[in-house]
A and B are shown apart, each in its own frame.
Chain A
Amino acid sequence: MSHGYVAIQWTRRKLLYDAILLALVLGYLVTFEGVSTVLAARAGVELEWDGMWIRAYGSASYLLLHGTLSIGPLSRLDPRFHLLLFNRRHMGVMVFVLALLHVFGWPKLLPLLGFSGALPWYHGFAPLEPWLSLLTSNRHYDDLIRFPFEALGLVGLVILFVMAATSHDFWLVNLTAPIWKAIHMAVYGAYAALVGHVLLGALQTNRSPLLAGAVLLGLAWVLGLHLLAGWREWWRDRRMAALLIQDNAGGPCVEVGPLESIPDGRAVVVWLAGERVAVFRDGDRVHALSNVCQHQNGPLGEGCLINGCVVCPWHGYEYRPETGASPPPFQEKVPIFPVTIRAGRVFVGLP
């Protein structure tokens, strides 16, 4: 609901979220490094630091991408997970930063901290430009097993970059929520490319059942969560579509049910003319408005009434239920729908 822009609208809760996220990422990297060192020492061999850090940062980015992709369906299945969703963009940017470090490395300013990323390490130190080498060394684009996995990684990185670069609300407002949302749905393209990158790259070199199992488990987790959440949404919509009737003028109308069936201060979501409509109850009054928040298309129907405003559960955007407009000075507005209560039963029609 901002009408002016700052680089990041930090709040105490966002800082805490980011601090926990950073601590978890650092915890993973340090554990990975420590175990790698111990394993090398036990084997009595020298550890190759650059390669180890390339794998550590790459796997950290890949794992965190699973976390980012899980938040959406988890929130659909259990609304308490909205507390992970409100700052999901920072998690997405972290995925990109880790992927960037996997590719380019850290400057070797301090001993131990710096390392060459995959691009300079595998394609640098040669007369050919590293990018040219990356794209031309392996040209088996017609062979699945020998396919250049680096190209898939590059596709994933470019998508993650576009998403990170447009993650700010400035782009959200100027591109409009549907376009912004469509761009950010490309995260699934990035995920597919990165699964291919890992399957055709790391898993062909490191033929470990442990790694293969972990990759397949991650894929099954992401797919399973999305299918489960999608099935639940489909089932709810189907149930709501059955409530569709015709009003006196012959237009579509939904009989929501008795007033008491709507929890006070909360909403039920119905299906009307191809759109989800959130029907909020405020005591004896009932208001119906589009279920789609203007900010990021969050589900308003899973929100609640606070101080007379409908509050979106994703980022706390507010709308007056009578008008669908955000309170001044904010200018967002969602469509509203006419509501009638007859004999204690609630009906929602088209405007």
Chain B
Amino acid sequence: MSRSPVPPPPIFVPYRPLPLGHRRLLLWLLPLLTALVVLLGLLLPWGQDAYGPGGRLPLRVLSGWLLDGPGAPQLLLPTGLPSDQGAARRVLLAGPGKTAPPAAVLAHSGHWVRLRGSLFARGDLRVMNVRRAKPLEPPPGSSQPLPGLAAAVDLGPVELLGEIVDGKCFSGVMKPGAGKTHRGCAIRCITGGVPALLHTSDASNGARDVLLVDSKGEMVNNSIGPLIADRLRIRGQLLQLDNLLLLRADPSTYQSA
């Protein structure tokens, strides 16, 4: 019988003892895989764009004037609130999930109400999740607010670059509540009636979150579906209403940037 010049290394057979060469492989492969897994687990979270400001505040009970606009349902708070309200006098309102406040809440528009719900905060922006409203007598000395944009301060014409986001996710429900991965959610929220904002960020003005209204001061939610989460250039009139910045422009003039 002839002999092989070089005996080849044994092969791996699943139901037979592990050959020495394979044991040696495992001796460096397993520590290497473990180190790789830990390294990836340590590194990849740094790539998340998930640490923006904003968040959920404890459940709140707030009283004020319930208004159906401009731009979105809102609660106008009296002055002298607890410090965590910041400068917010106007709290934008949304319903549960990705919806507008229920009809039972909006039926009390123009009245003084008490609302209870989760509050989301990002900078001066406040958005409250409401399910029901309890109408109350306004406190003595409290007068009906001016309707629509009548009380707004005109800051002049502007051209803003930014992305349309929904006020609820962007103010803290989701991180990031912006960008392409959030597009589907923002579309559901905005078409469902959650306030639509333009999130702008440019070197000269820093980040600004502006409530979008059309030329009549009404909601734009039903006109902007295909543009949500895209980079846009909007020319319009910048208005200030207490803590809210509003951009008044016809949605048909919004342009891709």
Contacts and interface: CB of A to CB of B under 8 A. Distances in A.
Most B CB within 10 A of own CB, among A48, A127, A149, A263: A48
A264 B4 contact: yes
Contact of A316 (B14, B21, B42, B187): B14
B246 to A, nearest CB: 26
Contact of B37 (A28, A133, A202): A28
Nearest to A306: B13
A36 B37 contact: no
Contacts of B79: none
B206 interface: no
A285 B52 CA distance: 73
Interface string B176-192: 10111111110111001
Interface stretch (B25-33, B83-91, B154-162, B195-203): B25-33
Interface stretch (B43-51, B58-66, B104-112, B133-141): B43-51
A11 B180 CA distance: 45
A316 B4 CA distance: 24
Interface string B142-166: 0000000000000000000000000
By size class, the interface of chain B is: 35 or more
B10 A304 contact: yes
B41 interface: yes
Contacts of B50: 36, 40, 47-48, 51-52, 55
Is the interface on chain A under 10, 10 to 19, 20 to 34, or 35 or more residues?
35 or more
A266 B21 CA distance: 17
A266 B8 contact: yes
B227 to A, nearest CB: 11
Contacts of A11: 14-15
B48 to A, nearest CB: 6
Given A86-B14, A260-B3, A313-B12, A31 B37 contact: yes
Contact of B41 (A35, A149, A303): A35
A290 B40 CA distance: 42
Contacts of B45: 32, 35-36, 39, 52
Contacts of B16: 306, 316
B230 A316 contact: no
Interface of B: 1-16, 18, 21-22, 25-26, 30, 33-34, 37-38, 40-56, 96-99, 172-176, 178-185, 187-189, 192, 226, 230
Nearest first, the 10 closest Cβ-Cβ pairs linking A and B are A31-B41, A125-B97, A205-B179, A46-B55, A211-B47, A208-B47, A48-B175, A137-B184, A126-B98, A122-B185
Given A126-B192, A211-B44, 9 more contacts: A11-B15, A48-B175, A125-B98, A126-B188, A146-B180, A205-B178, A260-B2, A264-B4, A311-B11
